[in-house]
Structure 1
């Protein structure tokens, strides 16, 4: 498959909205052949991971969504003890991140020694190299569950200097400038991380749009952000703020989180995770297909968290900023956007998206974001 053949298969949006599963004929299950089928992975109407509109109006959840915990097994008493320990550890990790980063310095009050200070940021790549694709069925698990990038560590802390903007008031020119500065920061973090695994990161070209536009991955609706695998570029709508709750849309780190999620998809496709997952999405039964899509999406949330942790000191992240990120992740959950608490969507419930974003914020290890081996309860 060439990049030109991707079509909507390679379009990954930030919010799931009401898209749900593709309509039409159910994809055919993989044949027992050891080699993947050649050519496109199905017609555009069956495209997995399409980054459709957010859908509906944002609704305040009736009660705060809980952060999901690992599944409980074995002795009932042990279950309670383990759950309590896991909860304490999770809270402690996030608390340590905030304590460590607020004020722009590490603990002990030492002057920050930023990593990658001699890194030369490359220009955005308009003609990127071809994406790695699975060749045999054994590649699917190898790329999604045992990818060599999971052994890598993101450099932290790293410097990130960018112009802060607010969607809704900033001009297209201002948004474009800020996005380009942000992709430079993302390159500083992800380029050396992929290099550790012998892989190649590509700094994506950023595009700003207002009304729906046409792309190599199909039509991109307004009010969203999208990564397109066909040209390996990212897109941000100037009207994205209109589908977010006001207290979130006006806060810091909204644009950073959204774009870091989309570049998280770029990381997935540059490592082969994205293509392998897309093949599975296209060929599995509906319920399994949706679950794989959610694993792909919440992993991008976790990758965004890794980046935000890396640049938090440089950007002066505060406890208020961290709370805003948590609220944002809940706000773009399938359940929140649809207003249906029990919905089975393709991006994940707000609690799952928040959980994985926090997993990234609490770590520098890419393996912490291996959502493809996580229990199904953590990717609901």
Structure 2
């Protein structure tokens, strides 16, 4: 559906007349823009969407608990000196016992004091929440003034992502050749890791961060946002707060890039960035202003701010888990190149095209901003950046 521009009502519901979900490899929608349902009369305020017919059930396999680190045994007890020995023997035995006690004390002291190579590590007690199949409603601003406040001074900008963060269950996968079941299993570990990184800063900012269900699809599927028939696509659907991953997505890249380490993870981190935006009110506020725009060019600026912020948030997550995942400098360079290759100009071959996702160099710049932010979410505030910085 073509986006309409022009005068709006006093405060338009940001759900009416939304675009169909579009593949992120298309010029308009690289890295699938958040999709919304085409509902006559707009989005039902505070309503729930029923699971549509033909919807592929999202796997609910929860990653297994994180393995406990090896514990330390208490030092063994020393036997008392045998009775009935002569005085000299008793003295020698006593000295041996004292030496043993002293040695045990040294061992215990080293263990408790954290000597190199033998100190016990804190146990990982975090466990991921299950995918939320019935998440709370998304926050909506009541006025344009409040929408601007949420965009430019959102509380999440004051928060910090922990760096580094370890995700032991997240293992490498060949996303090009993996089966649908393998991809779905990997998606569960991946969303678990994404929640692990983002849950604490979101909670500190006062926001809920339910874990979005995620599913890979190998054939067209019906969703609350409409039908997804592009298998080279990844979409965050705001109507059901779920993420969808088309199995052929890596194949839009050249052979040298499609097998890049962490390509699938980077895509999902971008889509999870949209989930963060909509849980914090940024997404709906941005769409409200986008719909209020009187020209396509003005609307595109808001669309690009939304997309490039998700690029930046993806960079923050990659930086947080990069060390524990063993990402090399060459791996990161490939991800930067991927960010460049999804620019509107690169995808269309039209230099300086004015579309809704941004130029390749600008998208790469915002992804790198996230990589270099050391977890500072405020570095991803695209809504106070100049228009030229989100071109």
TM-score over 0.5 for the alignment? yes
Question: How many equivalent residue pairs?
Answer: 298
Q: Does 1:344 align with 2:354?
A: yes
Tell me, in whole angstroms, the C-alpha distance in 1 between the residues paired with 2:305 and 2:271: 15
Matching residue of 2:145: 138
CA contact (8 A) 1:42 1:282 kept: no
Task: Indicate if the aligned counterparts of 1:116 and 1:155 stay in contact, CA closer than 8 A.
Answer: no
Query: Retained in 1: the 8 A contact 2:309–2:366?
Result: yes
Specify the alignment match of 1:233 in structure 2.
Answer: 242
Aligned to 1:307: 317
Q: Matched residues in 1 for 2:390 and 2:123: separation?
A: 33
- Structure 2 partner of 1:283: 292
How far 1:146 moved relative to its partner? 0.8
Q: Secondary structure at the match of 2:324?
A: helix
The alignment status of 1:43 with 2:50, answered yes or no, reads no
Equivalent residue, structure 2, for 1:222: 231
1:248 — aligned with what?
Answer: 257
TM-score w.r.t. the length of structure 1 is 0.74
Query: Which 5+ residue runs of structure 2 have no aligned equivalent?
Result: 28-115
| Structure-to-structure mapping, 1:327-366, within 5 angstroms | 327-363=337-373, 364-366=375-377
Whether the 8 Å contact between 1:330 and 1:354 is mirrored in structure 2 is yes
Q: Which whole-Å CA distance do the structure 2 matches of 1:340 and 1:149 have between them?
A: 36
Q: CA deviation digits over 1:73-119, x for unaligned, max 9?
A: xxxxxxxxxxxxxxxxxxxxxxxxxxxxxxxxxxxx999x9999433
Q: Would the alpha carbon gap of residues 40 and 275 (structure 1) be closer, same or farther in structure 2, given more than 3 Å must change? A: closer
Say whether 1:191 aligns with 2:170: no
**Matched residues in 1 for 2:289 and 2:224: separation?**
21
Shift of 1:40: 6.0
**CA–CA distance in structure 1, aligned partners of residues 123 and 277 of structure 2:** 22
Q: What is the alpha-carbon distance in structure 2 between the residues aligned to residue 192 and residue 359 of structure 1?
A: 21
Q: Does 1:379 align with 2:382?
A: no
- Does 1:152 find its partner at 2:159? yes
Within 2, Cα distance between the matches of 1:291 and 1:114? 48
The worse-fitting range, judged by mean Cα deviation, of 278-287 and 210-219 is 210-219
Deviation at 1:168, TM superposition (A): 2.4
Alpha-carbon distance between aligned partners in 2 of 1:292 and 1:116, rounded to the nearest angstrom: 44
After superposition, what is the alpha-carbon deviation per residue over 1:261-292, rounded to whole angstroms, capped at 9, x for unaligned?
00000000000000101111222121111110
Cα RMSD of the aligned pairs, angstroms, is 2.3
Deviations 1:169-218 (A, max 9, x none): 00001111111101111111110010110111111101111233221112
Deviations 1:31-74 (A, max 9, x none): 5x4xx23x564324xx39x4335138xxxxxxxxxxxxxxxxxx
In the aligned structure 1, how far is the partner of 2:121 from the partner of 2:292? 44
Which range moves more in the overlay, 160-169 or 120-129? 160-169
The 8 Å contact of residues 125 and 203 in structure 1, kept in 2 or not, is answered as: yes
Residues 28, 189 of structure 1: alpha-carbon distance in 2 compared, 3 angstrom cutoff: same
Deviations 1:11-41 (A, max 9, x none): xxxxxxxxxxx626x333345x4xx23x564
TM-score between the two structures when normalised by the length of structure 2: 0.72
1:28 aligns with 2:28: no
Q: Which has the larger radius of gyration?
A: 2
Assess if the C-alpha contact under 8 Å between 1:116 and 1:158 holds in 2: no
Higher helix share: 1
What residue in structure 2 maps to residue 69 of structure 1? none
Alignment equivalent of 2:135, drawn from 115, 119, 128: 128
In structure 2, distance between residues paired with 1:356 and 1:247:
23
